[in-house]
Chain A
Amino acid sequence: MAPSALQPPTRLSPAAALALSQQAPAILRSSTSIAYPPPLNKLLSGSENSEKWLQYENLIMSCLRTGDDQAAHACLRRLIVRFGDDNERVQALRGLVKEAEARNNGALEEVLKEYNQILSGNDTNIPIAKRRIALLRSMGRLSDATSALVQLLDFSPTDAEAWSELSDIYVSQGMYSQAIYAMEEVLVLAPNAWNIHARLGELQYMAATAPGVASGSYQQYMAEAIKRFSRSIELCDDYLRGYYGLKLVTKRLLIEGALAAKQTEGSEFTLPDTNTIERLNELATAKLSEIVRRSLSHDRGWRGYSEGDIAVARDLLGEDESQVTR
């Protein structure tokens, strides 16, 4: 699929981002920056739509990523002309451009000071608050970033993006139960997001396999991980990540076998019996190999998987086979 300037470019591969930023001159040329007064604009420059501005925004990001600062500035100028200098989103984008152009830590400190200044004037400027948090994080000041995020979430607890960022920070520090809490908040805001369900399963698995976990909570985590992965598959058929996680968890449980037998009483989720785990494992193995096979042979309707994911899934399946032959 060719990259479109309408999608946010955060997940693009480097090659795709490069291709996108190479479109920038064409896009910039195709639309003039002169604003005609209506109704002349109808006749001269086509209708204004929000897609155009979204396109500029995404172009800025991929241009910065590929080092085309000039085009990024051109896009930013158009956004400033249209929305004014003090629009919150434009301010955040300008900050982003400055961050990207900063060559050393001192320049980043400057940008940070600017953010603080903006926030002291207007403490509900959420785009800037988020930029500040991202900047703190990329400067390595994790505790500052965490406390800023917690403060943001205190007055805006319905922000799924912020919750998942918080979860990510906690994971990077190994604080799994906090990370799980934050991820559950995302789920409360988006109850049917299968990727979040799978992510939560991954977090539970990480928490279970972290060193120094008591065996009671280990089983708890594993049991909920199975449930989360199952739910994510239930919501999205042929979801590779869900099957991968399911297989990973059930495989581990089957190897440990004996440990799963003794159940702790009174806990919320108990591990399913060995028979169910085996069947789940079989299901996940079969589905994974189907996905890998079909995707490698480029069948119709099976092309959306990323190559990296397929390769990892194949490795997991290969591990299985080598154990069997041994």
Chain B
Amino acid sequence: MAQVPMQTIHRDPQLFYWILFPITIVMILTGMLRHYATVLMASDPKKLDQKAMREQRALLHGMNLRANYHVLSKPSFTARRDALITAFESGAYLKDPDSRGQPPPNPMSDPNAMEGMMGMMKNQMAMIIPNTLIMSWINAFFSGYVIMKLPFPLTIKFKSMLQAGVATRDMDPRWMSSISWYFLCIFGLQSVFNFLLGSENAANQMAQQMNQIGPQAGQMFGPGVDPNKQFLAEAENLAVIEHHSVLDGVEQRLLEGIKM
């Protein structure tokens, strides 16, 4: 079988210095810029006023009681349960007791909710704008070049990833175009940013996207949730608990469990 001849492309060695390095440096600099922009734009966590805090923590208190009722003796549990259920059902812990039973306000009209959304928008913008700019900058200046040859062999599947913008069918996938280098930088600079900015940096958009998919913990008290309904549900949860105590028969457990 005939050996496939080694592909050689004569490139100007200057390509290396005038494309590869600029792209890398620009990517790093925009990452740092994005980090500081996010830090500057980040709004302080919203301060809760006393009523709102009371509402949230009272609900949490009910949840704690529901989760850990077994540490209490029956009389003390029943006393707490009765008190909490009465308070929950009468809306004693609500931030504004007057608005009970009314439909929840439109989240768009609530200034607090708007602020949260604005924060998210700002973050999104800080990601999208620089990416678009750099992408178009690279496209405008460096598209259509092969800039380097990777020092290791690759299968044909990598062609579309590494040779974006260079539509040559027979070229060895080891050759790489500038756009591909840009993509590699997007995905591969995380450790550089970790070194430069600390591990909690906002430079890398991949991490941010992960976060958005991830937990929705703030949703419990978020806008659009009717606290009165939460309280009623919690009261019901408390009411159906069948009490047993961890103290029941603990002496016997102890005598059996501990051998001298």
Binding site for B on A (CB under 8 A): 38-39, 42, 47-48, 122-124, 154-158, 180-181, 184, 187-189, 191, 197, 224, 226-228, 230-231, 233-234, 237, 268-269, 272, 276, 279-280, 283, 286-287
Q: A158-B61, A187-B71, A283-B258 are in contact. Are A181 and B50 (CB under 8 A)?
A: no
* B253 sits at the interface (CB 8 A): yes
Q: Which residues of A contact B53 (CB under 8 A)?
A: 124, 155-156
For the complex, give the distance between the alpha carbons of A156 and B247 in Å. 28
* B8 sits at the interface (CB 8 A): no
Interface of A: prevailing SS: helix
For the complex, give the distance between the alpha carbons of A237 and B253 in Å. 13
Q: Is A191 within 8 A of B68, CB to CB?
A: yes
* B12 sits at the interface (CB 8 A): no
Q: Is A226 within 8 A of B251, CB to CB?
A: yes
Q: Which of B156-194 contact A (CB under 8 A)?
A: none
* B101 sits at the interface (CB 8 A): no
Q: A42-B196, A181-B76, A268-B75 are in contact. Are A234 and B255 (CB under 8 A)?
A: no
Q: Which of B40-63 contact A (CB under 8 A)?
A: 47-51, 53-54, 57-58, 60-61
Q: Which residue of B lies closest to A123 (CB)?
A: B50
Binding site for A on B (CB under 8 A): 32, 47-51, 53-54, 57-58, 60-61, 64-65, 67-76, 80, 195-198, 246-247, 250-255, 257-258, 260
Q: Which residues of A contact B250 (CB under 8 A)?
A: 227, 230-231, 234
For the complex, give the distance between the alpha carbons of A279 and B57 in Å. 44
Q: A38-B197, A39-B197, A158-B61 are in contact. Are A187 and B255 (CB under 8 A)?
A: no
Given A224-B247, A279-B255, list of 10 further CB < 8 A pairs? A39-B32, A39-B197, A42-B195, A156-B53, A189-B68, A227-B247, A227-B250, A234-B250, A280-B251, A283-B260
For the complex, give the distance between the alpha carbons of A216 and B50 in Å. 42
Q: Is B60 within 8 A of A158, CB to CB?
A: yes
Q: Which of B32, B67, B72, B255 contacts A184 (CB 8 A)?
A: B72
Interchain nearest-CB distance for A254 vs B (Å): 14
What are the nearest 5 A-B pairs in CB distance?
A: A155-B54, A191-B68, A227-B247, A157-B61, A230-B250
Q: Which of A123, A124, A226, A286 has the most CB of B within 10 A?
A: A124
Q: Which residues of A contact B67 (CB under 8 A)?
A: 191
Q: Is B65 within 8 A of A124, CB to CB?
A: no
Q: Is B197 within 8 A of A191, CB to CB?
A: no
For the complex, give the distance between the alpha carbons of A129 and B80 in Å. 25
Q: Which of A39, A122, A189, A231 contacts B247 (CB 8 A)?
A: A231
Q: A157-B61, A231-B246 are in contact. Are A187 and B50 (CB under 8 A)?
A: no
Q: Which residue of A lies closest to B68 (CB)?
A: A191
For the complex, give the distance between the alpha carbons of A272 and B195 in Å. 63
Q: Which residues of A contact B70 (CB under 8 A)?
A: 191
Interchain nearest-CB distance for A196 vs B (Å): 9
Q: Which residues of B contact A156 (CB under 8 A)?
A: 53-54, 57
Q: A158-B57, A226-B251, A272-B251 are in contact. Are A234 and B257 (CB under 8 A)?
A: yes
Q: Is B247 within 8 A of A188, CB to CB?
A: no
For the complex, give the distance between the alpha carbons of A230 and B71 in Å. 13
Q: Which of A39, A154, A230 contacts B251 (CB 8 A)?
A: A230
12 contacts between A and B (CB under 8 A): A155-B53, A157-B60, A158-B57, A181-B76, A188-B80, A191-B68, A230-B253, A234-B254, A276-B252, A279-B255, A280-B255, A286-B260
For the complex, give the distance between the alpha carbons of A287 and B259 in Å. 10
For the complex, give the distance between the alpha carbons of A158 and B53 in Å. 11
Q: Is B196 within 8 A of A191, CB to CB?
A: no
Q: Which residues of B contact A280 (CB under 8 A)?
A: 251, 254-255
Q: Is A157 within 8 A of B50, CB to CB?
A: no
For the complex, give the distance between the alpha carbons of A286 and B258 in Å. 11
For the complex, give the distance between the alpha carbons of A55 and B80 in Å. 39
Q: Which residues of A contact B253 (CB under 8 A)?
A: 230, 234
Q: Which residues of A contact B246 (CB under 8 A)?
A: 231
Q: Is A276 within 8 A of B64, CB to CB?
A: no
Interchain nearest-CB distance for A121 vs B (Å): 12
Q: Is A157 within 8 A of B255, CB to CB?
A: no
Q: Which residues of A contact B61 (CB under 8 A)?
A: 157-158
Q: Which of A38, A122, A123, A286 has the most CB of B within 10 A?
A: A38
Q: Which residues of B contact A187 (CB under 8 A)?
A: 68, 71-72
Interchain nearest-CB distance for B49 vs A (Å): 7
Q: Which residues of B contact A231 (CB under 8 A)?
A: 246-247, 250
Q: Is B64 within 8 A of A158, CB to CB?
A: yes
Q: Which residue of B lies closest to A228 (CB)?
A: B247
Q: Which residues of B contact A286 (CB under 8 A)?
A: 260
Q: Which residue of B lies closest to A280 (CB)?
A: B251
